A and B are shown apart, each in its own frame.
Chain A
Amino acid sequence: MTQTAALEVLEPGLQTTVQDYPGRRGRQSLGFFPSGPVDSLAFRLANLLVGNRPGAAALEIPLGRFQAGVLAPGRIAVTGPETSVTLNGSPVPQWESVPVETGDVLACEVLRGPGHRLYLALSGGIAVPEVFGSRSTFLLAGIGGLDGRALERADILDTFPSTPSRPRRLPVSLRPTYPTAWEIEILRGPHADPDFLTTEDFADFLAASWRCDLSSDRVGIRFNPHRFRWARPSGDVAGGHPSNLLDSSYPPGGILAYGDVLTVLGPDSNTSGGFAVIATVASASLWKVGQLRPGRDTVTFREIDLDQAAALTAHVNQLLDVKALS
């Protein structure tokens, strides 16, 4: 398939990476978590807006700062929190496809309000090689994306050919909102009360407002330390702390009790380990953790059951139906 040079990076931003959805699946037993976008909802919507498959490769731009020169005509869409997006200095809207011409300069300003990651899709999708079945960047192992790393100044991004698509726009009423105090739906377990935490501990977990720690990233979203009581004195041979258990594989979105620090396992996290996973973020709500601002936002966790999780999934699928786009 012929590829076209589509963008030249002028300002790469904090840690902009190429990702695809659902990422590198089917290899957890060999130690790979999926990678892919932390906010897969805004990511997939960006692709749909420019006429791509939801799984095409696109950019994840944490904190929003990014500039690039356009090398070929096509369409772009920027989704995620509200910021200033300009083409040759003139504002262009987010959440809709925007035509671009060779020689244009696209710029996204640093995010000043709530929300943490922008997504930029290019018509055709970014053409980087697949590594173990995915184009997603996995920084720690240095694989996927563009040479396994974050973008740098003067990088050239190619795209695959695309067929012209109609302009598309996501109605305002359907766009996700980005608060400063979040509510995130979780399912209890696999290692909750009464075997691991006490019933009071789990009630505390649900009642507390958790502050997203500055050290949060694609590997994990960490929260303020909290001393649980725990239902057992220690982890025995697995380790001293009662959160320790014999190693097992972790579910993506699992909320790990890493000693006294709760961590949501991000897309680049380790795939297994010896800590209790006290709850797991509902798959349809996992996008929210991609928009938590390190050091600023707070979260309360709301327990739901499997039926409610299925209803949430159905709702998100509706959003991702092309027919919803105008």
Chain B
Amino acid sequence: MPPPAPARPDVTYRTAGDRALLVEYGPPLPVDLGLNFFAHASARHLEENPVRGILEVAPGLRSLLVHYDPETIQHDAVIAAMDRLHQEIPEPGSLVLPSRRVKLPIAFDDSTSREAVERYQITTRPDAPNVLDGNNVDYLVRSNGLPNREALYSRVLESEWWNAFTGFYPGLPSLLPLDPRSELVAPKYNPARSWTPEGAVAFGGPCLVVHPIESPGSYQLFGRTLPICDLVRRPRAHRADPILIHPGDRISFYRVEEAELIELRRQVFEGRYDYDIEPGRYAVADHLAVQADPAIAAEAAKRRADRVAAQELVKIP
């Protein structure tokens, strides 16, 4: 049975000051990758068919922020241009987006991430319920209704992760799983953590992120990977752009021990490491086919139910 063809999403325009317009696609919830695909298709279509006065666009999970110059194009004309553009985009199910595949090593529950959690407990909030026993990994396992740490790691390793958008800090990707069975959800720290190591991998809300620079953060830390941003250094593979992971890229992780990760990170800093990047495209139809597979859908639904049940039991701070 072919998957049902998704309709074009409803569009909500929201004024974001006198120089920007926030364009939202579909309903606020649940998280729907299809809306993100549509946002990327809109951004790309606008790039290929520029509108005079529209300066830049920045995607979100289900939105686009459109910056414009009000002295060149008026608010109403921006809306009219976006309306036209949404009609010109192909049916969502037939979208094919540029998307590279990037493979990154990950060391789970590494000592640097643990140190960040430890620092938080000492300096910020010793009794934070979301750093259970000083470890975010165990908290993630419990709050997602998983049997053990290995189950959490498998979810991360088994799916490709779609970069829904880059933002917050320079080069920080917000990744969603292309395999619905790998959906995980995590509450954010309250208050935020003042230090997060570069390369830290973390969950917050429905997103997996990789920290490009040392910075504050509020997501649950569970591992570390390679540097993904080259703002001041010059590792190889960042030559074309200092940002390694572009919006719409697909990331997959392979497991390494911490000692091996440290060696690979050394190679990056010494300019000897070649990142594993494969150019390509991604067809939304592939995602729809996975979603429509009855076995996958049933398993994803069961896992979601387990997660919701666990969240009833685990106190969210």
A interface residues, Cβ below 8 angstroms from B: 25-32, 132, 140-143, 148, 187-191, 236-240, 244-254, 259, 270-274, 277, 280-284, 306, 309-310, 313
Find out whether the CB atom of A249 lies under 8 angstroms from the CB atom of B71: no
Judge whether B18 is part of the interface by a CB distance below 8 angstroms.
Answer: yes
Contact A246 B62 (CB under 8 A): yes
Q: Nearest CB to that of A236 among chain B residues?
A: B29
**For the complex, what is the distance from the CA of A34 to the CA of B58, rounded to whole Å?**
13
Q: Are B18 and A142 in contact (CB under 8 A)?
A: no
| Chain B window 143-174, contacts with chain A (Cβ cutoff 8 Å), 1 for yes, 0 for no | 00000000000000000000001111111101
Chain A residues with CB below 8 A from B60, complex form: 246-249, 272
Q: Which residues in B have their C-beta under 8 angstroms from that of A32?
A: 170
- A29 to B20 Cα, complex, angstroms: 14
Binds A, one of B9-17, B115-123, B255-263: B9-17
User: Are B206 and A237 in touch, CB under 8 angstroms?
Assistant: yes
Give chain B interface residues in 3-41, CB to chain A under 8 Å.
Answer: 14-20, 22, 24, 28-31
Please tell me if B231 contacts chain A, counting CB pairs below 8 Å.
Answer: yes
Given the known interface contacts A249-B165, A280-B16, the answer about A28 and B56 at a Cβ–Cβ threshold of 8 Å is: yes
Contact of B168 among A26, A190, A272, A313 (CB under 8 A): A272
- Shortest 8 CB-CB contacts between residues of A and residues of B: A248-B60, A280-B17, A272-B167, A190-B14, A249-B58, A309-B18, A249-B65, A28-B58
Q: A247, B165: Cβ atoms under 8 Å?
A: yes
Inter-subunit contact A142/B231 (CB<8 Å): yes
Instruction: Please count how many residues in chain B sit with their CB below 8 Å of the partner chain's CB atoms.
Output: 57
Contact with A along B175-213 (1 / 0, CB 8 A): 000000000010110100000000000000111000011
Q: Check B75 against A189 for contact (C-beta < 8 Å).
A: no
- Give A257 Cβ to nearest chain B Cβ, in Å: 14
Q: How far is the CA of A203 from the CA of B295 in the complex (A)?
A: 51
Q: For residue A191, which residues in chain B have a CB less than 8 angstroms away from its CB?
A: 14
How many residue pairs, one in A and one in B, have C-beta atoms under 8 Å apart? 169
Alpha-carbon distance between A244 and B204 when the two chains are bound, in angstroms: 12
Contact of B166 among A26, A31, A132, A142 (CB under 8 A): A31
Measured CB to CB, the residues of B under 8 A from A are: 14-20, 22, 24, 28-31, 43, 55-65, 67, 70-71, 74-75, 165-172, 174, 185, 187-188, 190, 205-207, 212-213, 215, 231-232, 241-243, 247, 316-317
Q: List chain A residues, Cβ under 8 A from B22.
A: 189-190, 248-249, 251
Residues of A contacting B19 with CB < 8 Å?
A: 251, 283
A26 and B55 in contact, given A251-B20, A280-B20 (Cβ under 8 angstroms): yes
Cβ B65 vs Cβ A248 within 8 A: yes
User: When chains A and B are docked, how far (Å) is the Cα of A82 from the Cα of B30?
Assistant: 53
Tell me whether A28 and B67 are in contact (CB under 8 A).
yes
Q: Compute how far the CA of A114 lies from the CA of B63 in the bound complex, rounded to whole angstroms.
A: 40
- Does A30 lie within 8 Å of B169, measured CB to CB? no
Measured in the bound complex, the distance between the Cα atoms of B70 and A252 in whole Å is: 15
Main secondary structure of the interface of A (DSSP, over half): mixed
Set of chain B residues within 8 Å of A25, measured between Cβ atoms: 55-56
- State which of B24, B170, B207, B247 has its C-beta within 8 Å of the C-beta of A141: B170
- Beyond contacts A29-B165, A249-B58: 18 other A-B pairs, Cβ-Cβ < 8 A, are A28-B67, A29-B247, A30-B170, A31-B166, A188-B15, A246-B28, A246-B61, A246-B205, A247-B174, A249-B60, A253-B17, A270-B167, A272-B167, A273-B167, A280-B18, A283-B18, A306-B74, A313-B70
Roughly how many angstroms separate A35 CA and B126 CA in the complex, as a whole number? 34
User: In the docked arrangement, what's the CA distance between A189 and B14, Å?
Assistant: 7
The residue of chain B having its C-beta at the shortest distance from the C-beta of A144 within the complex is B231
A140:B215 contact, CB within 8 angstroms: yes
A313 to B75, CA, bound (A): 15
Distance in Å: Cβ of A47 to nearest Cβ of chain B: 20
Q: How far is the CA of A280 from the CA of B19 in the complex (A)?
A: 10
Q: Is the CB of A282 within 8 A of B232?
A: no
CB-based contact B207/A247 at 8 Å: yes
Cβ–Cβ contact B170 & A247, under 8 A:
no
Q: How far is the CB of A184 from chain B (nearest CB, A)?
A: 12
Q: A140 vs B212: C-alpha distance in the bound complex, in angstroms?
A: 12
A281: chain B residues at CB < 8 Å are 17
Most chain B beta carbons < 10 A, residue from A132, A253, A272, A309? A272
Measured between beta carbons, the chain B residues less than 8 angstroms from A29 are 43, 56-59, 165-167, 247
A237 partner residues in chain B, CB cutoff 8 A: 29-31, 185, 205-206
**Bound complex: CA A140 to CA B217 (Å):** 13
Instruction: Give Cα A250 to B19, complex, Å.
Output: 12
Nearest-neighbour CB distance to chain B for A326, whole angstroms, equals 26
Asked if A249 contacts B167 (CB within 8 A), the reply is yes
Chain A residues with Cβ under 8 A from B185's Cβ? 237
